[in-house]
Amino acid sequence: MSSEPKKQQPRTLVSAVLEDGSIIETLASRRDRVVSLIRIHGGAVETGQTLDLPGFGTVRPYSPDNSLLAHGVVQFPSAREEYESEVDLASSIRQFIHRYADLSEAFEEAATYYVLLSWVYDAFNELPYLRLKGDFGCGKTRCLQTIGSLCYKPMFASGASTVSPLFRIIDAFRGTLVIDESDFRFSDERAEIVKILNNGNAKGFPVLRSDVTPGKDFNPKAFDVFGPKIIATRRSFDDRALESRCITEEMTGLPPRLDIPLSLPETFHTEAEHLRNQLLSYRALWRDLLVDPCPDRDPQLEARVAQIFTPLLAVAVAVNPEAKERLYQLARKTSGTLKADRGTSTEAQLLDIISELRRDSAPLGIKDIAERFSARFGSDAYRSVTPRWVGFQLRSRLSLLTVKSHGTFVIPDSENAKLQTLFLRYGISQVERSEPPIEGDPLAGEF
How does DSSP assign 145-204, residue by residue?
A: HHHHTTSSSEEE-TT-S-SHHHHHHHHHH--EEEEEGGG--SHHHHHHHHHHHHHSSBTT
Q: Which domain holds residue 378?
A: 346-425
Pairing mode of beta strands 129-133, 229-233: parallel
Over 60: is that where the pLDDT of 2 sits?
no
Given pLDDT bands bounded at 50, 70 and 90, which one contains residue 261? Answer: very high
One domain, residues 331 and 363: no
Q: Which helix (H) or strand (E) holds 237?
A: none
Q: How many domains does the chain fold into? A: 3
pLDDT top residue among 384 and 36: 36
The percentage of the chain sitting over the pLDDT mark of 90, rounded to a whole number, equals 50
Flag whether 70 is in a domain.
no
What CATH number is attached to the domain comprising 353? 1.10.10
Closest CA to 354 of 406, 301, 402: 402
Listed residues 312, 340, 368: the one ending a domain: 340
Residue-wise pLDDT tens digits, 176-198? 999 987 656 556 667 778 888 98
One domain, residues 150 and 235: yes
pLDDT top residue among 214 and 400: 400
One domain, residues 32 and 141: no
Residue-wise pLDDT tens digits, 141-150? 999 999 999 9
What CATH number is attached to the domain comprising 154? 3.40.50.300
Amino acid identity of residue 432, one-letter, is E
Flag whether 308 is in a domain.
yes
Residue-wise pLDDT tens digits, 152-175? 999 998 655 567 788 889 999 999
Q: Which DSSP letter does residue 378 get?
A: G
Flag whether 75 is in a domain.
no
Report how far residue 227's alpha carbon sits from residue 157's, in angstroms, rounded to the nearest whole number.
14
The DSSP line for 389-419 is: HHHHHHHHHS----EEETTEEE--GGGHHHH
Helix (H, G, I), strand (E, B) or coil at 224: coil
Flag whether 46 is in a domain.
yes
One domain, residues 268 and 289: yes
Listed residues 290, 321, 340: the one ending a domain: 340
One domain, residues 194 and 295: yes
Flag whether 263 is in a domain.
yes
pLDDT for 441: 39
Listed residues 313, 340, 367: the one ending a domain: 340
Buried/exposed code over 317-331 (b: 16+ C-beta within 10 A; e: otherwise): bbbeeebeeebbebb
Q: What is the mean pLDDT of residues 57-78?
A: 92
pLDDT for 161: 55
Average pLDDT, the chain: 86
One domain, residues 273 and 352: no
One domain, residues 266 and 360: no
Amino acid identity of residue 395, one-letter, is R
Q: Which DSSP letter does residue 437 get?
A: P
pLDDT for 292: 60
Whether the Cβ atoms of residue 145 and residue 50 lie closer than 8 Å to each other: no
In whole angstroms, how far apart are CA 224 and each of 133, 188, 199, 300, 358? 26, 21, 9, 33, 48
pLDDT for 180: 85
Closest CA to 311 of 330, 293, 336: 293
One domain, residues 313 and 372: no
Cβ atoms within 10 Å of 191's Cβ, excluding its own: 11
pTM of the model: 0.82
Q: Which DSSP letter does residue 7 get?
A: P
CA 46 to centroid of chain Cα atoms? 34
Flag whether 446 is in a domain.
no
Flag whether 359 is in a domain.
yes
One domain, residues 383 and 255: no
pLDDT top residue among 342 and 97: 97
Over 70: is that where the pLDDT of 435 sits?
no
Flag whether 2 is in a domain.
no
- 438: exposed, middle or buried (C-beta count within 10 Å: 0-12, 13-18, 19+)? exposed
One domain, residues 222 and 166: yes
| Partners of 131 in beta bridges | 231, 248
pLDDT for 3: 55
Over 70: is that where the pLDDT of 445 sits?
no
Amino acid identity of residue 96, one-letter, is F
One domain, residues 309 and 393: no
Q: What is the mean pLDDT of residues 363-387?
A: 82
One domain, residues 293 and 232: yes
Whether the Cβ atoms of residue 207 and residue 196 lie closer than 8 Å to each other: yes
- Map 266-328 to HEC letters: HHHHHHHHHHHHHHHHHHHHHCCCCCCCCCCCCCCCCHHHHHHHHHHHHHHHHHCCCHHHHHH
